[in-house]
Amino acid sequence: MPQPIRLKDHERDARLVRRRVVVGAVLVVMLTLVLVARAYYLQVIQYDHHTTLAENNRIHVQPIPPTRGLIFDRNGVIIADNRPSFSLTVTRERAGDWQAVLDTLVQVLELTAEDRAIFEKRFRQGRRPFEPVPILFELTEEQIARIAVNQFRLPGVEVTAQLVRHYPLGEHFAQSVGYVGRINEQELKKLDPVDYSGTHHIGKTGAEKFYENVLHGEVGYEEVETNARGRVLRVLKRTEPQSGRDLTLNLDLKLQQAAEAALAGRRGAVVAIEPATGGILAMASQPSFDPNLFVTGISFKDYAALRDSIDRPLYNRVLRGLYPPGSTIKPMVAAAGLDAGVITERSRIFDPGYYQLPNYEHKYRNWNRNGEGWVDLQLAIMRSNDTYFYDLALKLGVRRLHDYLYGMGIGRRVSIDLGEEAEGLMPSPEWKRARYRQAWYPGETLILGIGQGYMQATPLQLAQATALVANKGRWVRPRLLRSAAGLTPEQLMADGEIPQVETPPDVVLKDMKYWDMVSNGMQQVLHNPRGTAFKVGSQALYRIAGKSGTAQVVAIKQGEKYDRSKIKERHRDHALFIAFAPVENPQIAVAVMVENGESGSGVAAPVVKQVMDAWLLDDSGQLKAQFRPASPAVESH
């Protein structure tokens, strides 16, 4: 059937549109009536209600800040709690001439012009109309009394109580737990304005910062009726805030104190990890500082004192301190060599006291310039023989060296929840080309074998690598958090509450015995009379596997000897020691760095042992029952 030809029928179209115009007009009138009805409802039927709200009294919504979650150590000792503190708030809309009010306030409290400038700055950070802005914290009794007496001259000024963070243990956990501080302008831009509408503090460092989401909780609010002077007359509706979740950390107060005591006033870092769980048992960076200073705003003078101190208390040596790992890297290099098949347990090299690359003049020295003769793997680790490891590094080559050590955590962030952790550096030819636009030299491979050169690691990375050896290659990322309201860090990660990090693949060696060979070498360091740290190991009630190291602070020229008398105290080498124990059933892995301590075995090793004793021995000085190996390998008293 042919389609009928459609002709434009203008009259019909016009009629159609005209009908729609009528429909449209009816629609418009009807919807307008809806608006009128709504206005009638609000303005006539609900008139009294709204008048009450708006005119005589004023309704407004006040945020109720949630209580921040507490932080405990593994035994339930409080590290961070909240204490009531009085602060002074000003509400701009009620203050009238607020400049004059600030002037009066400064006069009443006998403050200075500088304080007034700070007040004004804080005052300008007010966010919503009728929001009381806190301008002075931790009021003393006298200040509260003075304000009360002069209240009539201070419209819009109120003294309010709020909970403020407090760290009862002061300096002990300043580096790990961190502290909270006043929200600054940059942070304000990133925060959810609703969720933080009643909150004035935010985690600035450490666990306080990393677990901010978990600790903060959810804001509540109340609708209150106030009179024209801003006094709350009654609460109309209240939604309770939801407190933040408490954190239980892996840290142990007693061990932390023992670690700090072991450093005995020297500058340095101690970090102890439980190999099976990755839990950080203690983390000390000395000297430390009092985190309470930062909570309500540190004074400029106090801050300058901390910042300019030559001992650098604000410097987190555990996480930010980058040191060449020195000889402590040798056990890991040995594991790499065994796995790659370039050495065996029995293969030996001859050490004349130095190593030379073919066709090069340069002599790479062993620390013992007399040489040690024929050296095998055990002896090389035990005596920390540099020559053996120069040779091993050259056989491995920089490529494989990089891959193995990077796989063990050198040059990458290793923890789950230590946000400030430095990356460290595991160099490779590609890195050197990108960084310096230079080719890689064979000599640079050699010194990588003894942990010198470009390689840099934090004490945390060294502790992690030690735990990895203790675990025979199984990776467990170090973590501060044990649980947050029953959730492990992994569960928090799965819920998207903390950033996702993947666990690196386990280091699988071709033969598990290789780990034992490395561990044996490390045990000789402490338990063989020729071992570098025999002095420390001979007194231990359990077997320790460890390795010493020194990190150069200033370079020594070729052919020159390290002469301590010529070197300024602050230019002396840093002493390093890593260890885990008991070897049969590793419970603790420790890395110690003593700044300018010079001798890894002499200075850092005793610190390690003191920390281990504090963890492994009971009050009577015996190895705790649960840590005893199944076989009676340890002598009993």
Partner 1 sequence: MGNFDRTLSSEDVVRRRATLLQRLHIDGWLLLILLALAAGGLFVLYSASGKNWDILLKQASSFGLGLLAMFIVAQIEPRFMARWVPLAYLAGTSMLLYVELFGYTAMGATRWIHIPGVIRFQPSEFMKLIMPATIAWYLARGSLPPRLKHICISLLLIGIPFVLVLKQPDLGTAMLILASGAFVLFMGGLRWRWISAAVAAAVPIAVAMWYFVLHDYQKRRIHTFLDPESDPLGSGWNIIQSKAAIGSGGVFGKGWLQGTQSHLDFLPESHTDFIIAVLGEEFGLVGICLLLMVYLVLIGRGLFITAQAQTLFGKLLAGSITMTFFVYVFVNIGMVSGLLPVVGVPLPFISYGGTSLVTLMTGFGVLMSVHTHRKWIAQA
In the complex, least distance from residue 492 CB atom to partner 1, rounded to whole angstroms: 17
Tokens of 567: 């070197």
327 is catalytic: yes
Question: Which lies closer to partner 1 via its Cβ, residue 59 or residue 78?
Answer: 59
Question: Which lies closer to partner 1 via its Cβ, residue 130 or residue 315?
Answer: 130
Task: Give whole-number Cα distances, 68 to 134, 194, 198, 243, 487, in Å.
Answer: 18, 16, 12, 6, 17
Question: Which lies closer to partner 1 via its Cβ, residue 29 or residue 113?
Answer: 29
Q: At what angle do helices 98-108 and 113-123 cross, to 10 degrees?
A: 140
Q: Which residue has the tokens 């009531």?
A: 84
In the complex, least distance from residue 39 CB atom to partner 1, rounded to whole angstroms: 5
Strand, helix or coil for residue 182: strand
Question: Which lies closer to partner 1 via its Cβ, residue 29 or residue 625?
Answer: 29
In the complex, least distance from residue 308 CB atom to partner 1, rounded to whole angstroms: 41
Task: Give whole-number Cα distances, 119 to 88, 193, 471, in Å.
Answer: 10, 22, 55
Question: Which lies closer to partner 1 via its Cβ, residue 130 or residue 354?
Answer: 130
Dump strand ranges (E) for 170-307: 180-182, 201-203, 220-226, 232-239, 247-249, 268-273, 280-286
In the complex, least distance from residue 21 CB atom to partner 1, rounded to whole angstroms: 5
Distance CA 132, CA 328 (A): 56
Strand, helix or coil for residue 461: helix
Contacts of 394 (CB under 8 A, 6+ apart): 357, 442, 445, 446, 449
Question: Which lies closer to partner 1 via its Cβ, residue 129 or residue 265?
Answer: 129
In the complex, least distance from residue 132 CB atom to partner 1, rounded to whole angstroms: 14
Distance CA 428, CA 445 (A): 9
> Would you call 198 exposed, middle or buried from its count of C-beta atoms within 10 A (0-12, 13-18, 19+)?
middle
* Short-list 337, 358, 556, CA closest to 449: 337
Q: What is the dihedral of CA 278, 279, 283, 289, to 10 degrees?
A: 130
Opening angle at CA 582, ends 581 and 584, nearest 5: 125
State which amino acid sits at residue 426.
M
Contacts of 370 (CB under 8 A, 6+ apart): 353
Question: Which lies closer to partner 1 via its Cβ, residue 11 or residue 110?
Answer: 11
Cβ 448 vs Cβ 393: under 8 Å: yes
Distance CA 163, CA 179 (A): 15
- Alpha helix segments (H runs only) across 357-422: 377-382, 386-407
Distance CA 70, CA 208 (A): 10
What number of residues does the chain have?
637
Question: Which lies closer to partner 1 via its Cβ, residue 38 or residue 571?
Answer: 38
* Short-list 479, 486, 184, 517, CA closest to 334: 517
Question: Which lies closer to partner 1 via its Cβ, residue 12 or residue 571?
Answer: 12
In the complex, least distance from residue 386 CB atom to partner 1, rounded to whole angstroms: 58
Question: Which lies closer to partner 1 via its Cβ, residue 34 or residue 434?
Answer: 34
In the complex, least distance from residue 214 CB atom to partner 1, rounded to whole angstroms: 18
Distance CA 406, CA 135 (A): 50
Catalytic site residue from 87, 176, 197, 327 = 327
Query: Which residue pairs, CB below 8 angstroms and at least 24 apart, start in 535-539?
Result: 535/601, 535/602, 535/605, 536/601, 536/605, 536/606, 536/608, 536/609, 539/609
Dump strand ranges (E) for 193-341: 201-203, 220-226, 232-239, 247-249, 268-273, 280-286
In the complex, least distance from residue 118 CB atom to partner 1, rounded to whole angstroms: 25
* Short-list 280, 289, 291, 290, CA closest to 318: 280
Contacts of 41 (CB under 8 A, 6+ apart): none
In the complex, least distance from residue 27 CB atom to partner 1, rounded to whole angstroms: 8
CB atoms within 10 A of CB 562: 14
Question: Which lies closer to partner 1 via its Cβ, residue 197 or residue 519?
Answer: 197
List residues binding partner 1 (CB under 8 A). 6-14, 16-21, 24-25, 28-29, 31-32, 34-36, 38-40, 42-44, 46-47, 49-51, 53-55, 58-61, 63, 93, 128-130, 193-194, 197, 219, 221, 223
Question: Which lies closer to partner 1 via its Cβ, residue 7 or residue 310?
Answer: 7
Strand, helix or coil for residue 119: helix
Opening angle at CA 231, ends 101 and 58, nearest 5: 105
Give phi and psi for 274, each to the nearest 5. -85, 115
Hey, which residues are catalytic here?
327
